[in-house]
Chains A and B, each alone.
Chain A
């Protein structure tokens, strides 16, 4: 599903590479934690999957497509198959829960009838039934992240990227967030989650890829966060 072959990325004006000859394979339906300290290249990895950045060398395949050969105007179609969740939720403050989720479908031109059908379903999936007409500011951090997850998943992507989704949320609420991610993963969606949260990684017992200074230092199935942290 995601295939990195010897990928290196150096940002302009920096001598140290953000990613240094990274090779990873993530299969369909896998749940992978991407761990490592700040600046280890986790976010760069996710940005490369989205083709927000281009690698300096190496090949990236996502959902069967060679990103180097993907023309710019086809990038939106790639992104429709990838859902994204961030630490800061990125909700639209002037839209309610339903509208925030529906926005993702409206802007890719889905018919209104389809939107009316699937948005309530996905709101229920993330556990926000009955809160469709709340505004983001009326929700707790955990609930806002659930809205963001609903928005990321509403188009049934093949891949869900989560960049520190529990970074702004207390540990008790984080468990609920992880349950939703797990539920999404069980529908067959590949989940790739960058995180600092050792407790979560340890409790989930999923595959762990550890990055340090842009290099992969560990790739364990059913791993834990690691001794050093």
Chain B
């Protein structure tokens, strides 16, 4: 009887305020979707960061025969002596853990494996690729310092600091995440106000009923629950749409870039994210409804 009554009231309220209900559902869906995407990016960034920061290398490329780098110009290819000296010098630096030599054939193999495109592969021969030292560091944060001290050494054409590349990638993902979260916060704010407004409209539409309910001694729960439920159900529908949005995002975006990721976004992580966004959505709806009702449905 009670449940019956409350659900029919909720249904009537949602239908009477259809446009507002749709606005709430869409806002909650978009807001919670962005919050979820932000959280998903975050989990990917942190697992990537952990993985890559341990593997950061400096690539010290060596002068080839006709290299155009200013450091090598007119000096010809690096000699075997110079190579040995350079390796010793690098190994002598306090922050260096390990130095590996990569010759032209290895460089060509790596280039092929790392998905160089076919047109380039057909043109490039192993002789075109430079030799290099791959320098592994004890502390990835010291990469710039090591790079500075190796610059200008005899036979060094160019130094690529992977840390810089990674930083720009992570920086970009971090910005994406921050943007998603910032928009999510705005949407949550908008959703809160919209829910407040919807509940207020609903309360106004049914002031006659609630007035009579008060007079005949209906308890506060009985009077207020239909309105709160309205907000919560709109929020729940929004949350379900957000969950669909997040699942689609995982399949269409995160799973597509999986090959670049060390740890692909798991369904478990997604489930956690969805649960969290649902809870946030419903709690926001509850609070917004309650606060509004306290102002517009006095006992």
Q: What 1/0 mask marks residues of chain B from 251 to 279 whose CB sits below 8 Å from any chain A CB?
A: 00000000000000000000000000000
Q: B216 near A80 (CB under 8 angstroms)? A: yes
Q: A108 near B215 (CB under 8 angstroms)? A: no
Is A117 at the interface (CB under 8 A from chain B)? no
Q: What 1/0 mask marks residues of chain A from 194 to 228 whose CB sits below 8 Å from any chain B CB?
A: 00000000000000000000000000000000000
User: Per a CB cutoff under 8 Å, which of B1, B211, B223 touches A112?
Assistant: B1
Give the distance in Å from the alpha carbon of A75 to the alpha carbon of B223 in the complex.
13
Q: A92 near B2 (CB under 8 angstroms)? A: no
Q: B1 near A73 (CB under 8 angstroms)? A: no
Chain B contact residues: helix, strand, loop or mixed? helix
User: Per a CB cutoff under 8 Å, which of B211, B216, B222 touches A155?
Assistant: B216
Q: A79 near B211 (CB under 8 angstroms)? A: no
Q: A80 near B217 (CB under 8 angstroms)? A: yes
Chain A residues within an 8 Å CB radius of B216: 79-80, 84, 103-104, 107-108, 151, 155
Is A76 at the interface (CB under 8 A from chain B)? yes
Closest residue of B by beta carbon distance from A90: B212
Q: B217 near A108 (CB under 8 angstroms)? A: yes
Q: B2 near A72 (CB under 8 angstroms)? A: no
Is A77 at the interface (CB under 8 A from chain B)? yes
Chain A residues within an 8 Å CB radius of B1: 106, 109, 111-112
Give the distance in Å from the alpha carbon of A151 to the alpha carbon of B217 in the complex.
12
Specify which of A79, A80, A155 lies most central, judged by the most chain B CB atoms within 10 Å of its CB.
A79
Is A169 at the interface (CB under 8 A from chain B)? no
Is B219 at the interface (CB under 8 A from chain A)? yes
Q: B212 near A73 (CB under 8 angstroms)? A: no
Q: A90 near B208 (CB under 8 angstroms)? A: yes
Is A48 at the interface (CB under 8 A from chain B)? no
Interface residues of B in 212-259 (CB under 8 A from A): 212-220, 222-223
Q: What 1/0 mask marks residues of chain B from 128 to 142 whose CB sits below 8 Å from any chain A CB?
A: 000000000000000
Chain B residues within an 8 Å CB radius of A104: 212, 216
Is A22 at the interface (CB under 8 A from chain B)? no
Whole-angstrom distance between the Cβ of B228 and the nearest chain A Cβ: 16
Closest residue of B by beta carbon distance from A73: B220
Chain B residues within an 8 Å CB radius of A76: 214, 217-220, 299
Is A78 at the interface (CB under 8 A from chain B)? yes
Give the distance in Å from the alpha carbon of A70 to the alpha carbon of B61 in the complex.
86
Specify which of B2, B209, B214, B217 lies most central, judged by the most chain A CB atoms within 10 Å of its CB.
B217
Q: B217 near A77 (CB under 8 angstroms)? A: yes
Give the distance in Å from the alpha carbon of A151 to the alpha carbon of B215 in the complex.
11
Whole-angstrom distance between the Cβ of B296 and the nearest chain A Cβ: 16
Chain B residues within an 8 Å CB radius of A92: 208-209, 212
User: Per a CB cutoff under 8 Å, which of A50, A90, A109, A155 touches B2?
Assistant: A109
Closest residue of A by beta carbon distance from B210: A107
Give the distance in Å from the alpha carbon of A112 to the alpha carbon of B2 in the complex.
10
Give the distance in Å from the alpha carbon of A108 to the alpha carbon of B299 in the complex.
15
Give the distance in Å from the alpha carbon of A77 to the alpha carbon of B214 in the complex.
10
Whole-angstrom distance between the Cβ of A178 and the nearest chain B Cβ: 22
Q: What 1/0 mask marks residues of chain A from 104 to 141 whose CB sits below 8 Å from any chain B CB?
A: 10111101100000000000000000000000000000
Chain A residues within an 8 Å CB radius of B208: 90, 92
Q: B217 near A78 (CB under 8 angstroms)? A: yes
Q: What 1/0 mask marks residues of chain A from 37 to 53 whose CB sits below 8 Å from any chain B CB?
A: 00000000000001000
Chain B residues within an 8 Å CB radius of A81: 217
Chain B residues within an 8 Å CB radius of A109: 1-2, 222
Q: A76-B219, A109-B222 are in contact. List 19 more A-B contacts (CB 8 A).
A: A76-B214, A76-B217, A79-B214, A79-B215, A79-B217, A80-B217, A82-B217, A84-B216, A90-B212, A92-B212, A104-B212, A107-B218, A107-B223, A108-B216, A108-B219, A108-B222, A109-B1, A109-B2, A112-B1
Pick 28 A–B contacts, CB within 8 A, sort by A: A50-B215, A73-B219, A75-B299, A76-B214, A76-B220, A77-B217, A79-B214, A79-B215, A80-B216, A81-B217, A82-B217, A84-B216, A90-B208, A90-B211, A90-B212, A92-B208, A103-B209, A103-B212, A103-B216, A104-B212, A106-B1, A106-B5, A108-B217, A108-B218, A109-B222, A112-B1, A155-B216, A155-B217
Which 4 pairs from chain A and chain B are nearest by CB?
A: A80-B217, A79-B217, A107-B218, A104-B216
